[in-house]
A and B are shown apart, each in its own frame.
Chain A
Amino acid sequence: MLTAVIALAALALLAAFGLAIAARVFAVPHNPKADEIEEVLPGANCGACALPGCAELARRIAEGKADIDACPVGGESAAHTIAAIMGMEFEGGAEREVALVLCKGSDQVAAKRFFYNGIYDCNSAVLVFGGDKACTYGCLGLGTCAGVCLFGAIDMVPGGLAVVDPEKCTGCAQCVAACPKGIIKMVPASRKLHILCSSHDKGGVARKHCKVACIGCMKCVKAAPEGAITMDNFLAVVDYSFEIPAEVAAECPMNTIIVTGDAAGACEEPAAAAGGDA
C-alpha cells in the first residue's frame, strides 16, 4: 500500500517536473493583444472571415495580417473596439450588408410539378429534377439556409419560403453559399426596395408557374431612375447603388416588388397593385 502511494507520488512529481520544463522549452510566443481581440469578437466561429475560427482571426489581426473590420458579424462596433486595442483609427468601412432571398413564391402562389417525398434538405431536393417547384429558379422552402444561419436570422414562413430578418442578419453570407438555387444575395441594409424574383423564364411561362413572378413587363424599369432597374434575360434586377423611390413598387402588376418597412425588420406588402391578376 505504502509503496504504491510513494511510487505514484514520485511519478506525479516527475511528470509535473517534465511538464514544467516542456512549458518553458516549447512555449509559444504569445501576443496578449490577440487575447483581448478575441474577447471582442463574437465567438460564433461562423467562418464568415474565411478563417478557421474567431481565435485565428484575433491572432491575425494582432499580427497585422488581417483588417480590423474583417469580422462582418462583429461589424462596426467590434471594429472600433479592436481599433482601440491596436492603437489605430477606424474610419468606418463598407456599408453593412444583409442577406435577401430573391423569391416570393410560397406554395400559396407558386405551382409544384410533382410531389417530393425525399430528404428534407434543399441540396438533396435539387438532385431530383432540380426540385419540385414548377419555377426552376425559386426557393425550395426546405430551409437549408435557415439551418446554417448561426444567428437565427432566417425564418421559414408557412408555405415554404425562406425570409431573412435584416435586424438579426450579421452579413456572414453563410446562407448565400448554402443555397443550391443561388437566390440569396447580399444587399446594402439601408436599401428598402427589392424585386423578389429570380426567374429568367419568359413572361407567359413565369406567370404560369408563379402568381408573383417577374414577367419582364419593364414597368418598374420605366418608373425607376435611369439605370436603377435593368432587365437581365426577362428578369428585372435592382442596382443597389441607386436609391429607388418606394412608389415604383406599386407599378408592378405582379406584386413582385416589396418595400421593407422602417419598423423593425417587418416586411410590408406594397398597396395592392393596379391591374394585378394574381
Chain B
Amino acid sequence: MGSGRFFGGVHPSYNKGLADSSAIVEMPLPERLVVFFAQNLGVPSQPVVKKGDEVKKGQVIAEAGGFVSTPVHAPTSGTIGSIDIYPSPVGVDAPAAVLVPDGKDEWFEGCNVERSSEGLGVKKIKEMIHDKGIVGMGGATFPTHVKLSPLAEKKMDLLVINGAECEPYLTADHRLMVEHAEGIRDGASLFATVIGVRNVVVAIEKNKPDAIEVMCKAVVGCQGFSVEAMDVIYPQGAEKQLIYTLTKRKVPAGGLPMDVGVLVQNVGTALAAYEAVRYNRPLIQRVVTVTGSGIREPKNVLARVGTRFEDLVKFCGGLEGDAAKCINGGPMMGVAQYSLDAAVTKGTSGLVILRQEEVTQFVSDACIRCARCLEVCPMKLNPSALSIFIEKMRFEDANEYNVMDCIECGCCAYVCPSRRPMVHHFRRAKAEVRKLQRKTG
C-alpha cells in the first residue's frame, strides 16, 4: 500500500487546533431532548411511542421500517412530552419526540450488561448491530448492518477503519482514536469477522500524529491490522478516494466499495458497534465537536442523541462575539442551520459556529470556463458543464455527465472564482434524475 493519492482535492484551512487537544467531556442531561424518528439514510423508522409514555434509557422508541433501516432508542429515561415537527439538522423538517428526562437515567432491562463477544456467530453479531441502531457515524448515517451484508458473489479482502477526518474544524474522530483506541480496534475485529477478511487498515491523516501513535500501539500483536498515515488533503476521508489512496483500486461509477472487495467503516461506528455487542448498549450518544470562532469554549462533547444545539452551545460557554452562522457538520459538507432548535442525531459529528466577518454572502456569476473545478473534482467529473446543464434544466444531460457520481464534497464550489453554488445545483439535479428514473421505472 502506498501513500500516493487520489486525483484532485483541495487544501482548505483546517482550523482543527481549536478543539483537537481538548479531551472528550460528557455533557449533563439537558432539560429536554428532541429525538428524530428518522435517524438513518434509507427507510425511516416507525415510531412506537406516543405522548405521555414513560420510557427507560435504551428502550426502542421507533422500530426499523424495513431492511435498510434501524431502530431508534430513548437516550435517557423520562416521559415523551410531545411528538411534533422539528427542523432536522440535515435540512428538512421532520417528526421528532420530545423526551423530558426524569433525571434517573435508568437503563431499560437488559441494556448495558457486559457479556462475552467470544464465539458469537456472524448472524448474531449483525443482528445485535442492527437491534442497537448502529449507523455510519461519519455523517452519512447508512445502516451498518446493511454495509456488513455484502452480496455473496463479492469477494471481500480488506476492511478500512476510516479515521481520516478530512473535514475542517472537526476533531471528534481524532479524540475518539486518542481516547478509545482499544474499543475501536475491537469493533474493527467484529466487522472483520462478519465479512470474513483478515486485513484491517486504520487510515488516519498525518495531521493527527497522536492518534496515529495511540492506534499503532493498540493494534500491536493483532494479526492483519495496520495503521496507515495518509497525506492531508480534502476529501481524503471520502470512501472512494480513501480506497484509491490505500489500494489503487477504483470503485466503478455508480458502484459500491464492495465491488472492489473493500468495506469502509468510520472509527465512531466501530466503537459504537463494539459497545453494542459487548455491553448491549444502543447508539444513544456520540461525540460532537462544538467549535469555531463563534463559540466561547470549543469542546469535544459526548452528547446524548436529541441534545438541542442551543443546549450544546450553552454547555460550551455560549456564543462569542457576533456569531453569525451555525453549521451542522463541517464547513465543506455541512448544512447551515436556521435555528438552534435542531438537535443532535446519530450523524452529527460537529457544530461549527462562525462569526460575521467569516461569513460572506456571495453573488454567484456565470461560469467563465476556467476549468479550476475540473482540476479539483476527486470524481473526475466536469462540474462546469454539469452546472450549466442544470441551470438550463437539462437534467438528462447532467445524468449523462454522471451527476449521480458527485459525492457533494464541495471542492468545485470551494475553488470557483465565479462563486457558483455548485453543490446546490447537483443536489437539485440528483433529485430530478431520481424523479426521472422513478418515472421510467
**Contacts from A to B (Cβ < 8 Å):** 113-114, 117-119, 121, 123-124, 127-130, 136
19 residue pairs A–B, Cβ–Cβ below 8 Å: A113-B338, A113-B339, A114-B338, A114-B339, A117-B361, A117-B362, A118-B421, A119-B421, A123-B431, A124-B424, A124-B425, A127-B91, A127-B427, A127-B431, A128-B91, A129-B87, A129-B93, A130-B92, A136-B93
Q: How far is A68 from B332 in the complex, measured between Cα atoms in Å?
A: 56
Residue of B nearest to A117 (CB): B361
Q: How far is A88 from B322 in the complex, measured between Cα atoms in Å?
A: 75
B contact patch SS: mixed
Give the Cβ gap from A188 to chain B, nearest Cβ, in Å.
Answer: 29
Q: A127-B424, A129-B87, A129-B93 are in contact. List 4 more A-B contacts (CB 8 A).
A: A119-B421, A124-B428, A127-B431, A129-B338
Q: Of residues 365 to 424 in B, which have CB atoms within 8 Å of A's CB atoms?
A: 421, 424
Are B91 and A123 closer than 8 Å at their CB atoms? Answer: no
Give the Cβ gap from B91 to chain A, nearest Cβ, in Å.
Answer: 6
Are A129 and B92 closer than 8 Å at their CB atoms? Answer: yes
> For residue B432, which residues in chain A have a CB less than 8 angstroms away from its CB?
123
**Contacts from B to A (Cβ < 8 Å):** 87, 91-93, 338-339, 361-362, 421, 424-425, 427-428, 431-432
Q: How far is A113 from B87 in the complex, measured between Cα atoms in Å?
A: 11
> For residue A123, which residues in chain B have a CB less than 8 angstroms away from its CB?
428, 431-432
> For residue A118, which residues in chain B have a CB less than 8 angstroms away from its CB?
421, 424
Q: How far is A123 from B87 in the complex, measured between Cα atoms in Å?
A: 19
Residue of A121, A128, A129, A130 contacting most chain B CB atoms (<10 Å): A129
The residue from A113, A114, A119, A130 contacting B424, defined by CB atoms under 8 A apart: A119
Q: How far is A124 from B427 in the complex, measured between Cα atoms in Å?
A: 8
> For residue A117, which residues in chain B have a CB less than 8 angstroms away from its CB?
361-362
Q: How far is A119 from B362 in the complex, measured between Cα atoms in Å?
A: 11
Q: How far is A118 from B427 in the complex, measured between Cα atoms in Å?
A: 12
Q: How far is A277 from B339 in the complex, measured between Cα atoms in Å?
A: 28
Q: How far is A129 from B421 in the complex, measured between Cα atoms in Å?
A: 17
Residue of B91, B93, B427, B428 contacting most chain A CB atoms (<10 Å): B428
Q: How far is A45 from B289 in the complex, measured between Cα atoms in Å?
A: 54
Q: How far is A128 from B424 in the complex, measured between Cα atoms in Å?
A: 9
Q: How far is A165 from B91 in the complex, measured between Cα atoms in Å?
A: 34
Residue of B nearest to A114 (CB): B338
Q: How far is A243 from B296 in the complex, measured between Cα atoms in Å?
A: 63
Residue of B nearest to A148 (CB): B393
> For residue A124, which residues in chain B have a CB less than 8 angstroms away from its CB?
424-425, 428
Q: How far is A273 from B339 in the complex, measured between Cα atoms in Å?
A: 35
Give the Cβ gap from A130 to chain B, nearest Cβ, in Å.
Answer: 6
Q: How far is A130 from B424 in the complex, measured between Cα atoms in Å?
A: 14
Residue of B nearest to A147 (CB): B393
> For residue B424, which residues in chain A have a CB less than 8 angstroms away from its CB?
118-119, 124, 127
